[in-house]
Structure formats: structure tokens, C-alpha cells
Chain A
């Protein structure tokens, strides 16, 4: 294709010259007055056309060879830069999305873990508290029982001592009042009186 374009250029020059010659001949008699543009036999006109072809050829050469490829490369570079930037932005957005998702998942997991830890701790604390309470109850019950036992023993001991004191006092009083004492009668009276008191105390 490149070759055919070049041959087209050659043909262009070859084909143009007769056409111009024809144009110049056709209006060859239009010298002098009128429009200066129509004086085709003027040598300045021919010079103008030849120089036009040379200058336009120069413009085409400069444009095709230097200027336009440069513009094309700048536009291409910009297009690539924009595409690259868009891709980078897309990538960054993807990364940000992934990071956000990971963060959300981590938060959810942490929350679940914290919840379960709280629940476990609460249950443990409850169980411990219950165990401690039971142990305390048991100890207190034991202490209460022991104390009750000691109280009962002390009371029994006191009761025993009371009978002896009462018997001896009664014995002394009776012997002082009436002299001579029936020991058995005194003990029976004291027992009777004590049991009556005990019955009254039990009621009270």
C-alpha cells in the first residue's frame, strides 16, 4: 500500500502539469485589465503555481513526517496514562473494598468472641458464687450445730448443778427449820419442782 501511495504522488505531479498548461492556454488571451487572478499567461502566475506545489509539498512533508506523528504519540501517551490511572484507581478501590470487608468480618468476630467470653465469665462467676455460698452455708450450719450442742451441754451441766444446789439448800433449810431430814423426800420434792420448772420453761 505504501508503494501505491508513492506512485500516486508521482502520478499527481505528472498529471497536474498538463492540466495547468491547459488552463493557462484556455485563458491565454486574458491579459491586461479585469481580475488579476485570470491572467493565466502571466509568468508570475506560473511561478505562483510551481511555488505553491513546492510549498504545499513541504507542508505535507513536515506534517506527515514530524508534526502529526508527534501529536499522535502525545495523544496516545495521554490515553494510556488515563487508562493506567483508571486501572490503578479501580485496583485501589478493590483493595479498599476488600480491606473494609476484612475489617467488618474482624469486627463481627471480635464482637462474637467478646460476647462468648462475657457469657463464659458470667457463668463461671455464677457457679463460683454458688459454690462459695454453699460452702459458707455448710460451715455456718456446722458452726450453728456445734454451738447448739455446746449450749445444750452447758445447759445440761447447769441443770445438773442446779439440782445438787437445790437439794443441798433444801436440805439445809429443812434441817434448820424442823431438824432431822428425810433425805429421800427432799430429793423427790426437788426433782418434782425442777421438772415442773422445766415444763414451764419449755412452754415459755
Chain B
């Protein structure tokens, strides 16, 4: 347990471990990747197996699949417009991947792959490069006018253009750090309070009563983390949609 010794090991949970021992070792397949695969399996199961009956009046599973479809579809078309339909599968995959990554991570013994900056930054870079390429593919050279806001006073342009470029380049950073930091903070807090439960609970009869406080706090935190899990996936998806809107429409 993490409570061994005096120190609280809140960061050990983020350590990458080989999945299935030597097999994972050979191909550098960590438990993080196994959880990604599990998320993909659950998402695909929900969307394919859940829709298999093609019922006119949906059951619970089908309703959940349709609800997530409608939710992301409305989000993308609401932000990007009709042109956004081409990007809907991408945003949907992104939203579900992040959402289920966050949710699976809340299960006991599970790993949260969205708590790795490498993962969130890679996803953010996928979004960044995709939006940049889409913008240039649609608008050509005209795309660079994105960094020159309309109606800005000419003398200020030397100042505004670098700011615009920096703000554009910092998009993947803010996108990835937001998700990463949220997930790390949540899981560190859960771990710290869980360790308190074990440490205080080990201190005799009185300790068992004392341990109920951090336990109750952890129950509340789990509910809060469920909200954060959904909210961060939503933020990731909606920011992606906003970036796509900029790429398609230029402001």
C-alpha cells in the first residue's frame, strides 16, 4: 500500500508498467495503452453492439449510444456549421476517448491515461495539426490572414501579429495541460485522502472513527471527479470544434 513508511506516495499511480509482463515488455505496451484499448473496446461495444437491434424505440444501451451521438453531433454542427459534419467522426472519437479514459480511470486499480501529459499533448497536437492543415487546405495562402485581425490599427500590427501567432501556437499546450492537470489533481487528491483513511484507520478504535472524515471526503470527491471527467471531455471536444470553426471560417 502507498501508506508504507511515512511518505504519501501520490504519484506512484502514474507510473507506466508493462502490460502482461514480457509480452508488453517486448513491444513497449504499457498498462496505459491497455486502458486505451479497453476504452476503445467499450466505446465500440456501446456504439456497435448497443445499436445492433436498430430499434425504433431504443432500449437503454441504444439510447445511451444515440444520446452521445446526438450530443457530439449537435456540438460540432453548432460550432462549425454544416461543414463540420466531415469532422464529426473525429470529434466524436476524441470526445469518447477522453471521456472513457477519464471514467475508466475512476475505477479501482485502473490507470488513467488522460493523466499523462504525453497522451493529452499528443491528442492536442493531432487536433492542432489537423486544424492547421484543414485551414491551409481550404483557404490556401489566405489562411495566414488569420493572424492579422480585421480592423486592427496598422501601427499596432507588429505587436498584434506576434501575439496572435503565439496564442495560436499555445493552443495545444493549453488544451493538453488543462485535461492533464485536472486529471492529475483529482487522482492525487483521491490518493492522498485514501492514504489518510488507511493511516488514521490504523490508529486504533478512535482512528476508525477519525478515518470516516477523509472517507466521506473521498466519496464526495468521486462524485466531483465524475463531473470533471465529463466536463473535461466536453471542454476538449468543444475547443476542438472551435478550432475547427476557425480553420473552416477564419474568425
Interface on A for B, CB 8 Å cutoff?
1, 4-5, 7-8, 11-12, 15-16, 19-20, 23, 34-38, 40, 42-53, 55-56, 58-60, 62-64, 66-68, 70-75, 77-78, 81
> Which B residue's beta carbon lies closest to that of A66?
B48
Enumerate B82-124 residues with CB–CB distance to A below 8 Å. Answer: 86, 88-90, 92-93, 96-97, 113, 115-119, 121-123
> Within residues 113 to 159 of chain B, which ones have a CB less than 8 A from any CB in chain A?
113, 115-119, 121-123, 125-126, 129-130, 133-134, 137-138
Decide yes or no whether B180 CB sits under 8 A from chain A.
yes
Across the interface, A53 reaches (CB within 8 A) one of B32, B122, B134, namely B122
Give chain A residues whose Cβ lies under 8 Å from the Cβ of B66.
71, 74-75
How far apart are the CA atoms of A62 and B66 in the complex, in Å? 16
Cross-chain contact B40 with A59 (CB below 8 angstroms) = yes
Question: Do residues A68 and B88 form an inter-chain contact, with CB atoms below 8 A?
Answer: yes
Does B65 reach chain A (CB closer than 8 Å)?
yes
A60 (CB) vs chain B CBs: closest residue = B93
Which A residues are in CB contact (< 8 Å) with B251? none
Complex alpha-carbon distance, A64 and B88, angstroms = 9
What residues on A are CB-neighbors of B125 within 8 Å? 15-16, 19-20
Q: Are A47 and B30 in contact (CB under 8 A)?
A: yes
Docked complex Cα distance between A66 and B92 (Å): 13
Q: Which residue of A lies closest to B19 (CB)?
A: A51
Q: Given contacts A63-B93, A74-B51, A77-B56, is CB(A36)–CB(B11) below 8 Å?
A: yes
Q: A67 to nearest B CB, angstroms?
A: 4
Q: What CA separation (Å) do A203 and B40 show in the bound complex?
A: 139
Beyond A35-B184, A63-B96, A68-B47, 19 additional pairs, beta carbon < 8 A: A8-B137, A15-B133, A36-B14, A36-B15, A36-B16, A37-B115, A37-B118, A44-B18, A44-B28, A47-B28, A53-B126, A59-B40, A63-B47, A63-B89, A63-B92, A64-B93, A67-B51, A71-B69, A75-B69
Residue on A with the closest CB to B52? A70
Q: Which residue of A lies closest to B183 (CB)?
A: A37
B212 interfacial contact with A, CB 8 Å: no
Contact B126 A56 (CB under 8 A): yes
Contact B116 A48 (CB under 8 A): yes
Report whether B36 and A44 are in contact in the complex, using a CB–CB cutoff of 8 Å. Answer: no
Whether B40 and A52, one on each chain, are in contact in the complex, defined by CB atoms closer than 8 angstroms, is no
Q: Are A51 and B122 in contact (CB under 8 A)?
A: no
Which one of B29, B118, B123 contacts A56 once the chains associate, using CB atoms below 8 Å?
A: B123
Contact, CB under 8 Å: B122 / A45: no
B14 and A37 within 8 A (CB): yes
Residues of chain A with a CB closer than 8 A to B47's CB? 63, 67-68, 70-71
Given contacts A4-B137, A45-B16, A74-B66, contact A52 B51 (CB under 8 A): no
Q: How far is the CB of A53 from chain B (nearest CB, A)?
A: 7
Name which residue of chain B comes closest to A3, CB basis. B137
Q: Give min CB distance, B116 to chain A, whole Å.
A: 5
Q: For residue A47, which residues in chain B have a CB less than 8 angstroms away from its CB?
A: 27-30, 33
Residues of A within 8 A of B90 (CB): 60, 64
4 pairs of A and B residues whose beta carbons are closest in the complex: A47-B28, A64-B89, A67-B47, A51-B33
Report how far A75 CA is from B58 CA in the complex, Å: 10
* 21 residue pairs bridging A and B, Cβ less than 8 Å apart: A5-B134, A8-B137, A12-B129, A15-B133, A16-B126, A36-B12, A36-B16, A37-B117, A44-B16, A44-B30, A49-B118, A51-B28, A51-B29, A56-B123, A59-B44, A67-B48, A68-B92, A71-B47, A71-B66, A77-B54, A81-B56
Q: In the complex, what's the smallest C-beta–C-beta distance from A169 to chain B, in angstroms? A: 128
Distance to closest chain B CB from A152 (angstroms) = 107
Shortest distance between the CB of A111 and any CB in chain B (Å): 47
